[in-house]
Amino acid sequence: MLLRSILMLDDSAHSIALGTAIGMFIALTPTVGIQMLMVICFAFLTRPLFRFNQIASLITVYISNPLTIVPIYWFDYKIGTYYVGGSMTQSDFARILEFEGFSGWWETVKQLLLEVGSPLIIGSLVVATFFSLATYPIMLRLVMHFQKRSPEADLVETDAQTVLSSKPADKEQNTKSVHLHSS
């Protein structure tokens, strides 16, 4: 569903792929709750340097959501422990990420930074960089392939399905069709 929404965007393949890669980077960092704001701020700050499809970025940040946040952040944390160490269990980690409302979110952010900050941040930067760099060429190819199939080609396919065959029709077949339609 998200992929189809991105592929349907009306922009250059480069802009959409770049937007998706930027959204992927932000989605895989521990910034849940402010990811959309980060996309908008990043677009504003980089406007003099380059442009990207902000809608593609905004759609892509939904990769991290309440269902995927624990596995994503746990993976980030585990990668980070290879660099700076850490001994938290997955159940302790999941417990930290349980919150309700804005005040709960803020407490979760503080707890994440204090208890698992270094491994989580370092791991998320490694994971986000890897996946965003991989996302760009994959999305570029997908968008280019999708855009090759122009609306005119779809229109021709639709018209071809409704056009009758140019072969001479069998007289018996025509009679059967008339009888079927008139009853």
Residue 104: predicted pLDDT: 62
Residue 33: predicted pLDDT: 79
pLDDT in tens, 13-54: 999 999 999 999 999 998 877 899 999 999 999 998 989 999
CB 153 within 8 A of CB 115: no
Closest CA to 23 of 62, 65, 67, 72: 62
Residue 99: predicted pLDDT: 61
Residue 163: predicted pLDDT: 46
Residue 115 CA, distance from chain mean position: 29
Spell out the per-residue pLDDT of the chain, length 183, in tens: 778 888 889 889 999 999 999 999 999 998 877 899 999 999 999 998 989 999 999 999 999 887 888 889 889 999 999 998 777 777 777 776 666 555 566 666 676 776 677 888 999 999 999 999 999 999 999 999 988 875 644 544 444 444 444 455 555 555 444 444 444
> Cα 98–100–103 angle (5° rounding)?
110
Predicted TM-score (pTM) of this structure? 0.72
Residue 18: predicted pLDDT: 95
Tell me the C-alpha distance between 157 and 165, whole Å: 14
Closest CA to 59 of 20, 21, 13: 20
Residue 165: predicted pLDDT: 46
Residue 153: predicted pLDDT: 44
Tell me the C-alpha distance between 97 and 7, whole Å: 32
